[in-house]
Amino acid sequence: MRLFEAILDANHRAAAGDKSAGVHVADFADALPVVALTCIDPRLNPLMPEVLGLPEEQFIWLRNAGNIITGSMSSTIRSLALACVVKGGKEIAVIGHTDCRAGQTTVLQLTERFAALGVNRSKLPDNIVEFFGVFASERQNVLKAVDFIRHSPIIGPKTPVHGLLVDIQSGRLEWLVNGYQALDAAAARFAEAINVQNPTMQTAFASPEPDGGEKKPSETKIGEAESVMGWSVKDAKVVEVPTPETPPKVRLVEEKSAHASAKRPPVISPFRNRPRRNF
């Protein structure tokens, strides 16, 4: 059983009246502390982090209006990333709550309330819904936030990202996104691509190792041939290839001595055989 599996189990038992329900924090030291993003609603003050069964020193609590995330590189993502990098957060949880006032406020109500505070509509962003992250469903808002976190390039790919919804009255948790299943599914796809049997979150993101564990260094000595695929150079046989006979020399032209003197061609003169003239 992993950390949030134990948290949900204890939370549901406690909600059912089991007063002995709780999380043995010492059993999950490698998964702590938890980084949680919740709403700023003050009704959450007495609930967190008790509903998770975690001590305060193992609970890094981030809050904004409506636990809204507007992008994979937003300022809230920056805080989540730094909570993991600087404060050592191991797992992330976006925890929405029922009866969220941020989700119940319409765009018209926002503009009217800003106007009551002296902020005219012209001072507000053009796209109020996108800027303020206005939403109508607490569940969909949590799912959207988890998706932004999971696809953010500054959140570690091995960090589980969970999505939960807490009942503001009873404190009962509902698990909307199981971060372990998401990572296991990614591990299975990765393992299938590299043909790994029985993938886990650790093996999927670990460096591939050859079968049989760590590869031992070769014991082949210098000058010796290393055996390959069960074949050894000792199994080789020497095959003698007969030397081909020297082919007979074919004389194409008559050879002459290199020092033989060549005959000079006859000299033809225009004055030869002419009668002499006496002057």
Residue that terminates a domain, selected from 189, 208, 227? 208
User: What whole-number distance in Å separates Cα of residue 77 and Cα of residue 144?
Assistant: 13
Residues 187, 87, single domain; the answer is no
- The total number of structural domains in the chain stands at 2
Residues 199, 134, single domain; the answer is no
Range of the domain at 200: 180-208
Residues 11, 131, single domain; the answer is yes
Residues 102, 188, single domain; the answer is no
pTM for the whole structure: 0.69
Report if residue 273 sits inside a domain: no
Burial of 207 (0-12, 13-18, 19+ CB in 10 A): exposed
Instruction: State how far the alpha carbon of 35 is from the alpha carbons of 90, 92, 196, in Å.
Output: 7, 5, 32
Residues 16, 39, single domain; the answer is yes
Three-state SS annotation for 68-111:
CCCCCCCHHHHHHHHHHHCCCCCEEEEEEECCCHHHHCCHHHHH
Report if residue 105 sits inside a domain: yes
**CB distance 170 to 135 below 8 Å:** no
Residues 37, 142, single domain; the answer is yes
Report if residue 64 sits inside a domain: yes
pLDDT in 10s for each residue of the chain, 279 residues: 999 999 999 999 999 999 999 999 999 999 999 999 999 999 999 999 999 999 999 999 999 999 999 999 999 999 999 999 999 999 999 999 999 998 889 999 999 999 999 999 999 999 999 899 889 899 999 999 999 999 999 999 999 999 999 999 999 999 999 999 988 888 788 777 777 666 665 555 555 555 555 555 555 554 555 554 454 545 555 556 566 666 556 555 554 544 545 555 555 555 555 555 554
Residues 101, 46, single domain; the answer is yes
- Cβ-based neighbour number of residue 80 at 10 Å: 28
Residues 95, 202, single domain; the answer is no
Residues 151, 195, single domain; the answer is no
